[in-house]
Structure 1
Amino acid sequence: MFDKIYDVIVVGGGHAGSEAAAAAANMGSSTLLVTMNLQNIAQMSCNPAMGGIAKGQIVREIDALGGYSGIVSDTSAIQFKMLNKSKGPAMWSPRVQSDRMRFAEDWRLLLEQTKNLDFYQEMVTGLVIKGDEVTGVKTSLGLEIRAKTVVLTNGTFLNGLIHIGNKNFGGGRAGEKAATGITEQLVDLGFESGRMKTGTPPRVDGRSLDFSKMIEQPGDAVPEKFSYSDITKPLTTQRPCHMSYTSLEVHNLLREGFDRSPMFNGRIQSLGPRYCPSIEDKINRFADKDRHQIFVEPEGWNTVEYYINGFSTSLPEDVQFKALSAVKGFENVKFFRPGYAIEYDYFPPTQLTHSLETKLVKGLYFAGQINGTTGYEEAASQGLMAGINASLKVQEKEPFILKRNEAYIGVLIDDLITKGTDEPYRMFTSRAEYRTLLRQDNADIRLTPKGYELGIASEKRLKRMEEKLSKAEAFVGFFRTQSVKPEEANPVLESKDSQPIRQSDKMFKIFSRPNIGIEDVRKFEAVEAYIQSNDLDNEVIEQAEIQVKYSGYIAKEKLNADKLTRLEYVKIPSGYDYSQIKSMSYEAREKLKKIQPTTVAQASRISGVSPNDISVLLVYMGR
């Protein structure tokens, strides 16, 4: 294998690396996954869960394109919840609690069954570069493995430094050494690098906890699943999580250790995730709060290890133990390991193109936390896209780029490339201006045809999606054409305090009322008969309901998207000389020169580029 020239080498076996390797191999590229420890492929370094607000949409999108994250989330799930069900469907977000050990095992086995994929365990310490192109990687044993493209997915391992109180030591995560050499080489090549931090909470022995003092958090009564494929099934049994609270006593105990906290004594200078702060950061920033939620999450079906979500910390271990022991239900807590913070190198993503290829070195791609993101889901989606585009480059095809109105993945990458980030980037529904279109329920309709064209989504998946869409559209058509008489409709309407009708009316109009749901219209004889005779499953019924009840919003957002994306097709020539545009602001010229947007729409989203600057640019481009 050492004398072989691979199409794609993926460095790192986390969530980004695993998706990148799977995508490239499934597209027919000879692929090598190089990682420091093959036993830790797709390791859940932090919380044992996948999905959540906006993140669940990303996992659905990965699955729709043909990635593996959704399948593994299903096969390793111990609990399923659809979050935000009380809100509109644009906000619904699936989340699973995972069996940590099974998740990694299932990923490993899936990758081993993937054709065109080889594995090698060793540290990559550098890249082989000729001119402005990458031609392979160097390992700690001095080996040079050649490749046409390389995808770096180093996670928190690049010069990783772990902090617990006054102690610090090199490491990519607990029990694993840091990776060295790559940052220094890239900086020498002209790349800009920075430092970020993240943290993790203590893991504890569930046998030492008193769950009777906590609030049980069960999964959904009727659980769904992540993957659109029929190879996984919804859970039939689930494990509950629990919730407790900190208190003023807990906060005071934590404050006693602030003088030894690397966050407050200046030893950690880098920024951590704004929306996932440490417990010490929470009680410092929100001093008016006398308590914070603590979620007690099981690590698997059978293990007694629990993850204490909401108690991320880098305080000294004795302070952690003393404070956590004061939380209700934790009086006799036993630690498996303390929480810690970790600092690591990243590279501002404005140095990449939308394909995730670096601008300085051809054939070199970055994906995951190396780009300044946080979260398994954000990393996995970047890995998928980098693997796809590395394979396409080898095939001498155009890169695959998702637009902001096509996927949350498109929003994520466009935000990174166009705006950059100086703190760990996390996806939220609020970041997507077209979130009514980018729902978790229609990711397959949006993206499976694209995955099929790329060769990573199967024909079976495509046909299943087409059947779902056809049945849903026919069901919506049924509501548009069928009428219901007052004597049948009014008892249902009156039971929901909805205005009765005086004459027959279209079911679509009645169904569109805000307080009328699918369970209400199923009381109409013709509706239930249609469902039964056409063998409609819950997925089709839900899709039809959304199309009926939110048709106005969806149509309006599509119209806005069409208007705003016209500029996506106005290309800016490569290497465009912005210095000639004297009537454009100096800041705009500098930002455009640095980021080198490929379209006018991308240019318009760059911070510091005003609408007037865009108007001037269009004039100079002769538009």
Structure 2
Amino acid sequence: MNYDVIVIGGGHAGIEASLAPARMGVKTLLVTILAEQIGASSCNPAIGGLAKGHLVKELDAMGGEMGLATDATGIQFRILNQSKGPAVRGSRAQIDMDRYRIYMRDVVLCTKNLDLKQEEVEALIIEDGRVQGVETQLGNRYMASKVIITAGTFLNGLIHIGEKQQIAGRQGEFASIELAENMRGLGFEIGRLKTGTCARIDGSSIDLSVMEPQGGNEKATPFSFRTDKKTFNPTQLPCHVTYTNETTHNIIESNFYRAPLFSGQIGGTGPRYCPSIEDKISRFRDRPRHQIFVEPQTIEANEFYINGMSTSLPTDVQLDMIRSVKGMENAKIVRYGYAIEYDFIQPTELRHTLETKKIEGLYCAGQINGTTGYEEAAAQGMMAGINAVLNLQGKKPFILGRDEAYIGVLIDDLVTKGTKEPYRMFTSRSEYRLLLREDNADVRLYKYGREFGLLDDEYLQYVERKKYDIDEAVSYLRENFVTPNREFIAFLETIGEDKINDKICLLDLLGRATMTKEKLIAFVPSFESYSDEVIEQILIEAKYSRYIEKQQAQVNKMKGMLQVKIPREFDFSKVSGLSNEIVEKLTNINPPTLFNASEISGVTPASLDILHIYIKMAQKAR
């Protein structure tokens, strides 16, 4: 059977990778090992978090599904870092993991141009360096000139629980062994990573009353810009916080010899920012306790995820250590925690479109590229899906810049730097994070959703009007000034604001931390017609206007710099500050411009800055 795009894997990357092409009008096939596990939460039952929330918002702004699914199935909504600046805030939601999975499966089954097959892909069909399709364990051959692999932890997956090992992609599910061997045979640089998950506990066996409750925000804020805020009022359940203790630590420490992480049984590199409990005890033995989040997995709250106790220790040790924690003395384990090793492709094997350099038409997205997290996976899936269609249509690729989106930072980091450990997104990875806030993702990126036909007309009209109103208001405030005359100082006093001493533009004056919606409207009564979302953006733009201007100037400088031509006979070995590896790559490839140099794996923005300085020095010396 012939298709335009085939997606392998029904996880968070596979969902977005298949929905985008189908919605763009091309015939798409999603092949997954178990249809009812589409969108399953292999680890914690939550979406978003610091920087991860940015990715979900950006996906949503372009027409992705993850934000809508979270709003439909969320059971607790919080804004992290709410007391800090908007650039570092992050939306996070606990989800009903069962209903999320069902929601996503229904969306896949009801999407036009998208077929679903429950089969296991064993091999890629390759001819003359180009992908032609896939072959499954049933002997079925499905043909397509674009194939996207989103195999997650299933690619040669191996589960560890104590001394026990199990070949699986997720507990109770087959691993994809043949496809992994097929990928190795194609000559890709394959590495091995490790991740893990926590035990799940019977809710009736936990005493939540002795733990610290942690609720969501009183007024829940939806993830999706397309969800109606006025009617959004989900049922919210609390999570609870408890702590390990010295007894817990002694139990774990006395069983290090049985821990696959320390016995040599596990060879893959684990996520540094989400270590297992045994790794935490080993590295931070001086700490008297570690925080544990007890999170409901569904609205019924009959099973809880013990966040903070990811482990691969034997089952008897898991039970002892969990029961040593306050509130879980009588805990009954429903599902044991485990570690899983899996294959990944070194992402420097990919272009910025996520197409592989070795095989034309073959794309990879998600954990196969060395990332960790549902959100990182979904973002890559959507980008791979869109680029597969654009390539089919003979159009230019879709590559988000580091100044445009966290998604652009994510992919640029992967394909230029590669990774030796599971890559996780952080706000600190973005040098332009004041520009790339969660709250403005819609006005930043909706144009792409419009261009690719992924957003409906009603929403497009709404966001276009929102952007127009923001731009109009900010321009007015920037162009209008006030002076410290007696009348204006008296006005400031009536609204509880300190006086001014010099002439100042309204935008700078409204940037004070004390400014509110009511004060803004007092300054400019005509702004009362604006929506709350527009008012919020006006106040943020006012508060950070000078910093935003500086970052925008940096962006413009970088864009101009990338157009700089590199002299044909330029000697890269004379550039101090470049690694030998970068010098070798630049010498061999001899890129004509700094932009072409930026496309080479391993060449970082800092390297480009150094190169630019030396090119200018060489030009002056002539």
- The aligned counterpart of 2:331 is 333
**Partners in 1 of 2:352 and 2:502 — Cα distance?**
56
How do 1:171-182 residues align onto structure 2 when only pairs under 5 Å count? 171-182=168-179
Superposed displacement of residue 87, structure 1: 1.2
Superposed displacement of residue 474, structure 1: 3.7
Structure 1 residue 555 corresponds to structure 2 residue 532: no
Superposed displacement of residue 615, structure 1: 6.2
- Code of the aligned partner of 1:554: I
Instruction: Please tell me whether the aligned partners of residues 276 and 311 of structure 2 are also in contact (alpha carbons under 8 angstroms).
Output: yes
- The aligned counterpart of 2:493 is 490
**Partners in 2 of 1:71 and 1:274 — Cα distance?**
30
Gaps of 5+ in 2: none
- SS state at 2:419 partner: coil
Q: Cα gap change, 1:274/1:448 in structure 2, threshold over 3 Å: closer, same or farther?
A: same
**Partners in 2 of 1:97 and 1:593 — Cα distance?**
50
- The aligned counterpart of 1:472 is 470
- The aligned counterpart of 1:511 is 510
- The aligned counterpart of 2:391 is 393
Structure 1 residue 588 corresponds to structure 2 residue 586: no
- The aligned counterpart of 2:265 is 267
- Code of the aligned partner of 1:331: E
**Partners in 1 of 2:244 and 2:135 — Cα distance?**
48
Q: 2:448 aligns with which of 435, 450, 466?
A: 450
**Partners in 1 of 2:21 and 2:557 — Cα distance?**
34
Gaps of 5+ in 1: none
Instruction: Please tell me whether the aligned partners of residues 129 and 135 of structure 1 are also in contact (alpha carbons under 8 angstroms).
Output: yes
Instruction: Please tell me whether the aligned partners of residues 493 and 500 of structure 1 are also in contact (alpha carbons under 8 angstroms).
Output: no
Superposed displacement of residue 446, structure 1: 1.1
Aligned-residue Cα RMSD (Å) equals: 2.8
Q: 1:212 aligns with which of 204, 209, 212?
A: 209
Superposed displacement of residue 85, structure 1: 1.3
Superposed displacement of residue 348, structure 1: 0.3
Q: 2:55 aligns with which of 44, 47, 58?
A: 58
Superposed displacement of residue 173, structure 1: 0.7
Q: 1:42 aligns with which of 9, 22, 39?
A: 39
How do 1:542-621 residues align onto structure 2 when only pairs under 5 Å count? 542-569=536-563, 586-592=580-586, 599-603=596-600, 606=603
Deviation readout 1:129-178 (Å, 9 max, x if unpaired): 00100000010112211111100000000110000111111010111111
**Partners in 2 of 1:541 and 1:65 — Cα distance?**
23
Instruction: Please tell me whether the aligned partners of residues 108 and 116 of structure 2 are also in contact (alpha carbons under 8 angstroms).
Output: no
Deviation readout 1:167-204 (Å, 9 max, x if unpaired): 11101011111111122222222111011000000100
Structure 1 residue 282 corresponds to structure 2 residue 280: yes
Deviation readout 1:339-369 (Å, 9 max, x if unpaired): 1000000010000000000000000000000
Structure 1 residue 25 corresponds to structure 2 residue 22: yes
Structure 1 residue 294 corresponds to structure 2 residue 292: yes
How do 1:124-143 residues align onto structure 2 when only pairs under 5 Å count? 124-143=121-140
- The aligned counterpart of 1:248 is 246
- Code of the aligned partner of 1:511: L
- The aligned counterpart of 1:235 is 233
**Partners in 1 of 2:510 and 2:418 — Cα distance?**
44
Q: Cα gap change, 1:440/1:311 in structure 2, threshold over 3 Å: closer, same or farther?
A: same
How do 1:66-215 residues align onto structure 2 when only pairs under 5 Å count? 66-215=63-212
- SS state at 2:10 partner: coil
The 10-residue stretch of structure 1 (229-238 or 137-146) with the greater mean CA deviation from structure 2: 229-238
Superposed displacement of residue 530, structure 1: 4.1
- SS state at 2:176 partner: coil
**Partners in 2 of 1:504 and 1:602 — Cα distance?**
47
Q: Cα gap change, 1:502/1:568 in structure 2, threshold over 3 Å: closer, same or farther?
A: closer
**Partners in 2 of 1:572 and 1:164 — Cα distance?**
54
- The aligned counterpart of 1:382 is 380
User: Percent same amino acid among aligned pairs?
Assistant: 48
**Partners in 2 of 1:268 and 1:90 — Cα distance?**
38
**Partners in 1 of 2:129 and 2:140 — Cα distance?**
21
Instruction: Please tell me whether the aligned partners of residues 71 and 227 of structure 2 are also in contact (alpha carbons under 8 angstroms).
Output: no
**Partners in 1 of 2:233 and 2:388 — Cα distance?**
36
Instruction: Please tell me whether the aligned partners of residues 598 and 608 of structure 2 are also in contact (alpha carbons under 8 angstroms).
Output: no
- Code of the aligned partner of 2:537: Q
Superposed displacement of residue 619, structure 1: 10
- SS state at 1:456 partner: coil
Q: Cα gap change, 1:517/1:283 in structure 2, threshold over 3 Å: closer, same or farther?
A: farther
- SS state at 1:269 partner: coil
- Code of the aligned partner of 1:397: K
- The aligned counterpart of 2:357 is 359
Instruction: Please tell me whether the aligned partners of residues 209 and 333 of structure 1 are also in contact (alpha carbons under 8 angstroms).
Output: yes
**Partners in 1 of 2:320 and 2:589 — Cα distance?**
49
- SS state at 1:85 partner: coil
Q: Cα gap change, 1:615/1:471 in structure 2, threshold over 3 Å: closer, same or farther?
A: closer
The 10-residue stretch of structure 1 (266-275 or 585-594) with the greater mean CA deviation from structure 2: 585-594
- SS state at 2:92 partner: strand
Deviation readout 1:501-555 (Å, 9 max, x if unpaired): 57997654442223x1315626x6455x5454x1x33321211110111111111
- The aligned counterpart of 1:222 is 219
**Partners in 2 of 1:581 and 1:432 — Cα distance?**
28
**Partners in 2 of 1:503 and 1:437 — Cα distance?**
29
- Code of the aligned partner of 2:492: A
Instruction: Please tell me whether the aligned partners of residues 517 and 535 of structure 2 are also in contact (alpha carbons under 8 angstroms).
Output: no
- Code of the aligned partner of 2:359: V
Superposed displacement of residue 332, structure 1: 1.2
**Partners in 2 of 1:553 and 1:168 — Cα distance?**
53
Q: 2:458 aligns with which of 457, 460, 470?
A: 460
- Code of the aligned partner of 2:46: A
- The aligned counterpart of 1:405 is 403
**Partners in 2 of 1:9 and 1:243 — Cα distance?**
43
**Partners in 2 of 1:198 and 1:444 — Cα distance?**
32
Deviation readout 1:15-44 (Å, 9 max, x if unpaired): 000000000111111000000011001111
**Partners in 2 of 1:343 and 1:616 — Cα distance?**
44
Q: Cα gap change, 1:461/1:621 in structure 2, threshold over 3 Å: closer, same or farther?
A: farther
**Partners in 2 of 1:71 and 1:202 — Cα distance?**
28
Instruction: Please tell me whether the aligned partners of residues 237 and 299 of structure 2 are also in contact (alpha carbons under 8 angstroms).
Output: yes
Superposed displacement of residue 486, structure 1: 3.0
- The aligned counterpart of 1:441 is 439
The 10-residue stretch of structure 1 (240-249 or 583-592) with the greater mean CA deviation from structure 2: 583-592
Superposed displacement of residue 567, structure 1: 3.7
Instruction: Please tell me whether the aligned partners of residues 61 and 407 of structure 1 are also in contact (alpha carbons under 8 angstroms).
Output: yes
Q: Cα gap change, 1:548/1:226 in structure 2, threshold over 3 Å: closer, same or farther?
A: same
Deviation readout 1:213-244 (Å, 9 max, x if unpaired): 11111111122111111467533431111111
- The aligned counterpart of 1:422 is 420
**Partners in 2 of 1:593 and 1:130 — Cα distance?**
32
- Code of the aligned partner of 2:41: M
Q: Cα gap change, 1:618/1:591 in structure 2, threshold over 3 Å: closer, same or farther?
A: farther
**Partners in 2 of 1:111 and 1:570 — Cα distance?**
45
- Code of the aligned partner of 2:130: E
Q: Cα gap change, 1:463/1:568 in structure 2, threshold over 3 Å: closer, same or farther?
A: farther
Instruction: Please tell me whether the aligned partners of residues 135 and 149 of structure 1 are also in contact (alpha carbons under 8 angstroms).
Output: yes
- Code of the aligned partner of 1:90: A
* TM-score, normalised relative to structure 2: 0.92
Q: Cα gap change, 1:596/1:165 in structure 2, threshold over 3 Å: closer, same or farther?
A: farther
Instruction: Please tell me whether the aligned partners of residues 204 and 302 of structure 2 are also in contact (alpha carbons under 8 angstroms).
Output: yes
Deviation readout 1:98-129 (Å, 9 max, x if unpaired): 11011111111222221110111100011000
